Amino acid sequence: MKALITGGAGFIGSHLAEALLARGDRVAVLDNLSTGSMQNIRELKKQGGFEYVIDDVLNQRLLAEMVDDADVVYHLAAAVGVKLVVESPVRTIKTNLEGTQVVLEAAAKKRKKVLLTSTSEVYGKSTRIPFSEDDDLLIGPSNKGRWSYACSKLMDEFLAIAYWKERKLPVVIARLFNTVGPRQTGRYGMVIPSFVRQALTNKPITIYGSGKQQRTFGYVGDVVGALMALMDAKDTQGEIFNIGNEVEISIEDLAKLVKKMTGSRSKLVYIPYDDAYEAGFEDMPRRVPNLTKVKQCIGYQPRTQLAETLQNVIEYERVQLKA
């Protein structure tokens, strides 16, 4: 089996590539390194069955060749992170919409199964907790830039389902809830690597908003295993699945836990959303997945608890700081 991973030099993509190679698959990665890094796939380059191309998913001729040469396609290439989305809404919309359309069109010509990674952001301002895949979605107004990401990924989902219904392209959609682990960067607003690095350097741990907002965090190893199982399963075409962890923690308590686990002298500093992102920025008090569907389909069960996840990230960041 040969898998093509768009965005394969990114945080999740590189872990997915590693897992696929470990089970004996061949892997091709396409990444423009806008948010990915060669460091993420440095060790993979030494393995047989691995190849990579540094180029954009919008290079249709190249993409068509790589899709033709693959058995399945994992489409992870996207604009990611709240900070990037707020600062670069044009790039966010263009990358997500056009990139997905190009991938689906190329895959449809040869009927190659596609797994599209979406996001919990599509649930928007919904207060129906936990979020289920068939829930109504409540997106904020178009003059609030942070919702451009949610809308672009939701349109990706609509387009993928349309290709399934109209052209019988086998496609499965995974809505990810705060995937975390080693190699994730805090550069674009990812909370755990940001907290860990701040704590390890004894700098202020910056909490946006009140810190009372609650989130769940899925370990990248568990999430990648689910992506592979959804791709391998025969009855997932045209379906949407939540993937993540159901255990909640407030961002404030998360910061305190990181501080304790690192033995840090950092102070907790609270920054208003308007100062951190943009005037009128909206955030959700809770975001929790209902995992019933994915558990029933592939037996998914998040195995890595938050403390272990944090310890893995702390160890990774310690090494990076010494490098």
Is residue 279 in a domain? no
Task: State yes or no: pLDDT of 84 exceeds 90.
Answer: no
Q: Which domain holds residue 96?
A: 2-180+218-245+288-303
Is residue 313 in a domain? no
What is d(CA 69, CA 249) in angstroms, rounded to the nearest whole number?
43
Contact 106, 72 (CB under 8 A): no
What is d(CA 216, CA 168) in angstroms, rounded to the nearest whole number?
34
Query: Which token pair is 287?
Result: 């975001």
Is residue 20 in a domain? yes
The mean of the pLDDT values for the chain is 94
Sheet with 113-119, side-by-side order of all strands: 50-54, 26-31, 2-6, 72-75, 113-119, 171-176, 240-243
Q: What was the pLDDT predicted at 143?
A: 84
Three-class HEC string of the chain: CEEEEECCCCHHHHHHHHHHHHCCCEEEEEECCCCCCHHHHCCHHHCCCEEEEECCCCCHHHHHHHHHCCCEEEECCCCCCHHHHHHCHHHHHHHHHHHHHHHHHHHHHHCCEEEEEEEHHHHECCCCCCECCCCCCECCCCCCCCHHHHHHHHHHHHHHHHHHHHHCCCEEEEEECCEECCCCCCCCCCHHHHHHHHHHCCCCEEEECCCCCEEECEEHHHHHHHHHHHHHCCCCCCCEEEECCCCEEEHHHHHHHHHHHHCCCCCEEEECHHHHCCCCCCCCCEECECCHHHHHHHCCCCCCCHHHHHHHHHHHHHHHHHC
For 121, other C-beta atoms within 10 Å of its C-beta total 23
For the segment 29-61, what is each residue's pLDDT rounded down to a tens digit? 999 998 899 999 999 999 999 999 999 999 999
**Preceding omega of 285 cis (within 30 degrees of 0):** no
Q: What was the pLDDT predicted at 282?
A: 80
Mean pLDDT of 76-98: 79
Strand partners, 35: none
Is residue 128 in a domain? yes
What is the share, in percent, of the chain residues with pLDDT greater than 90? 83
Q: What was the pLDDT predicted at 88?
A: 75
- In CATH, what number is assigned to the domain containing residue 86? 3.40.50.720
For the segment 152-183, what is each residue's pLDDT rounded down to a tens digit? 999 999 999 999 999 999 999 999 999 999 99
Q: Among all residues, which ones are annotated catalytic?
A: 149
Task: State yes or no: pLDDT of 81 exceeds 70.
Answer: no
Task: State yes or no: pLDDT of 124 exceeds 80.
Answer: yes
What is d(CA 135, CA 188) in angstroms, rounded to the nearest whole number?
29
What is d(CA 196, CA 178) in angstroms, rounded to the nearest whole number?
16
For the segment 11-29, what is each residue's pLDDT rounded down to a tens digit? 999 999 999 999 999 999 9
Is residue 257 in a domain? no
Task: State yes or no: pLDDT of 1 exceeds 70.
Answer: yes
What is the share, in percent, of the chain residues with pLDDT greater than 70? 97
For 117, other C-beta atoms within 10 Å of its C-beta total 25
Is residue 63 in a domain? yes
For 221, other C-beta atoms within 10 Å of its C-beta total 19
Task: State yes or no: pLDDT of 189 exceeds 90.
Answer: no
Is residue 201 in a domain? no
For 103, other C-beta atoms within 10 Å of its C-beta total 30
Is residue 34 in a domain? yes
317 falls in which pLDDT band (50, 70, 90)?
A: very high
What is d(CA 299, CA 106) in angstroms, rounded to the nearest whole number?
31
Residue with tokens 């180029």: 55
Task: State yes or no: pLDDT of 80 exceeds 90.
Answer: no
Q: What was the pLDDT predicted at 94?
A: 84
Residues 6+ apart with CB under 8 A from 145: 85, 86, 89, 278
280 falls in which pLDDT band (50, 70, 90)?
A: low
Q: What was the pLDDT predicted at 9?
A: 97
- Count of structural domains within the chain: 1
